[in-house]
Structure 1
Amino acid sequence: MSIEESKEYLDAAKRNTDTIFLISPNTTKDRINKIAKVTTGFLYLVAVFGTTGVKTGVKNYTIKAIKSVKKQTKGKIPIGVGFGVSTPADVKKFVTAGADAVIVGSAFLKLMETTPQSKIEKKIELFTRSLKKETLNVTQKS
């Protein structure tokens, strides 16, 4: 939802519920400032243009957007990156660029669709560990 249509949602922030708004790599700096002023949780940067789902490769425009938004907000608001994140390498690139969080959804769904029921729990555990490992590799080197 847009910030212009979010009065009820923003009222929730008054009851200790964080607000999270979406931005995209082509959101203007002026609009990012407006959104940042009402965001109490994190800015959710949509990593790709189009629909969500498993994509291939990290787009350079997303890396530039992470760095730009981080600089613009002076690191005062966490940046979460999602949509199309599918590999540990994606996570590493986003965290290296400055993302505070990486949101993975469709990759888990695909894993569940392609894994026998008896092995899903273990597969999810291993995949989650591989994603987390990349965040630790980046943060420990910093």
Structure 2
Amino acid sequence: MGSLKELIRQAQDIKTQRDVEIPEWGITVDVHGLPSGDWEAYQNKLNKLRFQEGRSGAEMNVRSNRAEIVAKCLYEPGTDQRVFPDVTEGIAILSKKSQGIVDGLFTLCRHLSGEERDFKQKVKDAEGNSDGDQS
């Protein structure tokens, strides 16, 4: 058994939804959740936009930030290769696509990243993954 640090580093805890069909685009993709650091960066951007521009003025920027998250989550089916290795290009492409489709993919990204669960649910889920040996 390795050190706790190594066990944490090696844990495969990012969820993936395989073979997500997007009929409007005629494609199938894999959607991966994002790691904590990417979600924190997203939340920090949102908070900064809301503070600087007011809640309604930030709406367009929020949409492009959602496109950024989606660009980071879309993968070629069965691979570890992003559909948009250049995230800036992905944002430009996705920002011109249906808001409903991008928003649906964003919602899936949130779900796979565990963002929508509250703290109590996250603790409950973590407890369910333990071996039951409590000290």
Q: Normalised by the size of structure 2, how large is the TM-score?
A: 0.31
Task: Provide the TM-score with structure 1 as the length reference.
Answer: 0.30
Greater relative contact order structure (CA < 8 Å, 6+ sep) = 2
State the structure with more CA Rg.
2
